[in-house]
Amino acid sequence: MRYLHLLDRNAVSLIKEHNSGKVQTDPKKVKFLDHLKSLDRPENLVTPLLSIIEGEKGREDSAEEKAVCQRKESEAIRVFFRFATTDSDNLDAMGDQLSLTFTAYQEGQWAARAAFLKVAAPLIVQPVAKAKRREAEDKLIAAAASEGLAHDDVLNILCLATLHESEHARALLKPKLVNAYNVLSDLQFIHLTQQIKSIAQKHHLPIHIAVVSMDEGLLGAMDHIEFHHCDFIDDSEFQMKIRYPTGLFPGLSDSGYADLMNKLAQRH
């Protein structure tokens, strides 16, 4: 069994800092850098592709900026990993096509989610008293519907999870900061990771897909999102069913979780 490690934005940024000679003093970064070094083994495959798709500007980038990002990150991975297999040469060979394909690459609900997040963030920016959560639930669900989002859209669910005391969801959404690009890029990262896993499964590839990130909110949220019946309908459309288990809502009892799921189902 081989491992394909998908590096996110903060993982690649740390690698670039290390390559430049910067000495890390933050214990968390030191520990994570050691983890990255431990991946440098012949049985491992490593790619910065999802980091390149997000870009390094913290905003939508141009084709020229995307091309520069691709070259820099491919080289950074090539330098850092001496024994693991990287796709740096392939990314360089496809550089022009990659920059054109992924410039302004956004999921179909991107604009609707960005509009919803502006409304939702103030509702969950601070912990909400239990007596007021039912009212906040209704406001979140109504706001999502008004933007044309599905009742079980992942952003709506994560907002509800934040309302119900999920520290992972709160860390991912960062409602005090409301950086829509970063939040929606993380959601896109989750979905693209699942697509890559589905491709591997479809073609019976003996490979395990692993996400490499320092973002505890992203990793924690991914651990509580279950994907089922994932497949490509055609070359351009990917279909998946998502289940959000009780662990994503630590502030809810089993009956409270059932009530929330029923409420969402009635909005379908």
Tell me the pLDDT tens digit for each residue of 201-257. 777 888 899 999 999 999 999 999 888 766 666 655 666 778 899 999 999 999 999
- For strand 44-47 and strand 85-86, is the pairing parallel, antiparallel, or unpaired? parallel
The pLDDT of residue 265: 85
Integer Cα distance of 15 and 199 in angstroms:
27
Strand partners, 44: 3
Q: Which of 181, 141, 160, 191 is nearest to 256 (CA)?
A: 160
Tokens matching residue 237: 């459309």
Assess contact for 166 and 127: CB atoms under 8 A. Answer: no
Low-confidence ranges of the chain (pLDDT < 50): none
The pLDDT of residue 121: 97
Q: Would you tell me how many other CB atoms lie within 10 Å of the CB of residue 239? A: 11
Q: Is 180 helix (H, G, I), strand (E, B) or coil?
A: helix
